[in-house]
Structure 1
Amino acid sequence: MSPPRTVLLTGAAGGVGTLMRELLPPYGYELRLLDVAPVPGAPDAIVADLADRAALREAVRGVDAIVHLAGISLESTFDKIMAANIAGTYNLYEAAREEGVRRVVFASSNHAVGFIRQPRPGDPLVPVDTPHRPDTFYGLSKCFGEDLAQLYWDLHGIETVSVRIGSCFPEPTSVRMLSMWLSPADCARLLHATLTAEDVAHTVVYGSSANTRAWWDLSTARALGFEPVDDSEVHAEKLIAEKGLPPEDSADARYLGGHFCVDPPRWPH
């Protein structure tokens, strides 16, 4: 499949969106940007809330695919998560259906399965078909998004790749992140694969780099053509020296979701 020419990037002013604004165009994409806040350096970006269905329909009109990164990315009240991540994602899929967009890449999260126990050395990697075990309302909203994507494939033939993103930063910032780090360059490689693979129907993939300490089975991502290059291990010695290993009885040492399971960071808005 040749790359889609025009891609709507929602959440373009956010952390991952900011990185992808720079890293996706070299793959041949023309990005149409959308965020609830102005996008720095992009005066033509669409400023709209996910509750604005008319604006969403206009935003998706004529695009070849959507990369949906918008929404609340930490824990918040159920009402706020409901509005931004649940109703907002539904509104976007409805706009895609109405305008005939056939491919969506949905930013899911490791927090959809946050209460899964971390694998120990020698254990099998965590598969993508492990049952949902969200650790927060935020994680619950990502479970909803994955199920919504499945429904829109079955009902309307809209293909989606749901990417359970680990932690996409220029470098890992915690010991736990050594297992789920997704480098910005690998994130762009993964999104390119999700946008160009044939016949994805609804496919769930984990999004992490080729980390020595990996917890997740990347086979479904590799089947789409993703070949991660980076490895968090180059940062391990420094991180462990600075922060130490998490105590064995702590959430950071027990669960995939780490401290989200017991004391999640709160959305600041």
Structure 2
Amino acid sequence: MTRTSGHRGGEAASERILITGAAGRAGALLVPRLARPGRLLTLLDQRRPEPAVLADGEDVLLASITDLEAMTHACRGVDAVVHLAGQAWEASFGDVLRLNVEGTRCVLEAAHRAGVSRVVLASSHHAAGFYRYGQHPPGGLPAGVPGRPDSYYGWSKVAGESLGQLYADEHGMDVICVRIGGWREAPHRLRDLALWLSPDDGARLVEACLAAPSPGFRMVWGISRNTRRWFSLAEGEALGYYPKDDAEVCAAALIAEHGEPDFATDPHLNRLGGPMCDVPLGTPR
């Protein structure tokens, strides 16, 4: 493990948060929005985050999430872990097993050994990819429905969720699994009209996960308040997450480019996993 920068803020940190995968796409959206006076963010990845992500008062560690010793060291003195790192799309079974299952186990075990009581795990809507539009109750598909993964990647997220449940039950940790939709700057496909998670709402959700008193084990959807969503926001609201953004602001442009969405019959829209449901298992992306 390599430490490439130290705490530079003049004010003593009252809250310390470790963010794994800080150099990735989600990390680039989240880190600047979590920075605040009195909070020390420790950013862990195998490569250094881009300069635009970094702010005063952050610590950068270069390490692998599969290195239990390094992860345990990184967790010492931390109040909470936000675990974003891992294989981000479909890959070989070996890769998703090593990075998303063994990596998540290492993060949870390191947090336990270091006495960290709260972990926020980045799961994915692909953990439930074979659920269909129309199979949901009026309030939307609940966040905690049993996994129906659409890929090895989705299966690894179900496995990570079950590890979170295990550590919550075995060690009394607070573990919140976020089944993330399309976390990006703006909607860029018709599926995003239902699944988009705006950068600001993503930060609001993580803040709610960090602040909720004694949540135990929870599962929530990582989506914004999209007009065309078919997923429940109740689980997030129970934690204090009240999204403000709506993919509908981009609907006219997306429909002009791709046509009117048909969530009832279009196989790319009426299955939660979309086209991933048709990709042969283990096909790299």
Structure 2: give runs of 5+ residues left out of the alignment. 1-12
Indicate which of 111, 116, 121 corresponds to 1:101.
116
Name whichever of 202-211 and 239-248 sits farther off.
239-248
TM-score (norm 2): 0.87
Following superposition of structure 1 onto structure 2, how do residues 84-233 of structure 1 map, counting pairs within 5 Å? 84-119=99-134, 123-233=138-248
Q: Distance in 2 between matches of 1:242 and 1:203?
A: 38
Superposed CA deviations along residues 44-93 of structure 1, whole A, max 9, x for unmatched, are 51111122111111111110000000001100000000010000100111
Of 47-56 and 25-34, deviating more is: 25-34
Equivalent in the alignment of 1:16: 26
Q: TM-score normalised to the size of structure 1?
A: 0.92
Q: CA deviation at 1:104?
A: 0.3
| Aligned residue-pair number | 266
Conserved in 2, the CA contact under 8 Å of 1:251 and 1:262? no
Query: What's the offset of the Cα at 1:29?
Result: 3.2
- 3-state secondary structure, aligned to 1:133: coil
2:72 maps to what in 1? 57
User: Paired residue for 2:61, among 37, 43, 46?
Assistant: 46
Q: Which residue of 2 aligns with 1:34?
A: 44
2:255 is matched with which residue? Answer: 240
SS at match of 2:232: coil
Shift of 1:4: 7.2
Closer/same/farther in 2, CA of residues 27 and 69 from structure 1, 3 Å limit: farther
Offset, 1:253: 2.4
Deviations 1:160-218 (A, max 9, x none): 11111101111011001110101000000010000000111000001111110011101
The 3-state SS of whatever aligns with 1:45 is strand
Q: CA deviation at 1:145?
A: 1.0
Alpha-carbon distance in 1 for matches of 2:133, 2:209: 26
Match of 2:267 among 211, 236, 251: 251
Pick closer, same or farther for the CA change 1:263–1:250 going to 2, 3 Å: farther
Assess, with a 3 A threshold, how the Cα gap between structure 1 residues 58 and 87 changes in structure 2: closer, same or farther. Answer: same
Structure-2 residue corresponding to 1:260: 276
Closer/same/farther in 2, CA of residues 220 and 27 from structure 1, 3 Å limit: farther
* Superposed CA RMSD: 2.2
Equivalent-residue separation in structure 2 for 1:100 and 1:257 (angstroms): 36
Pair 255,69 (structure 1): closer, same or farther in 2 beyond 3 Å: same
Unmatched 5+ stretches in structure 1: none
Which residue identity does 2:273 align to in structure 1?
A: G
Q: Which amino acid aligns with 2:201?
A: D
Moved over 6 A (4+): none
- Summarize deviations over 1:19-40 as a string: whole Å, max 9, x none: 1111111486321000122222
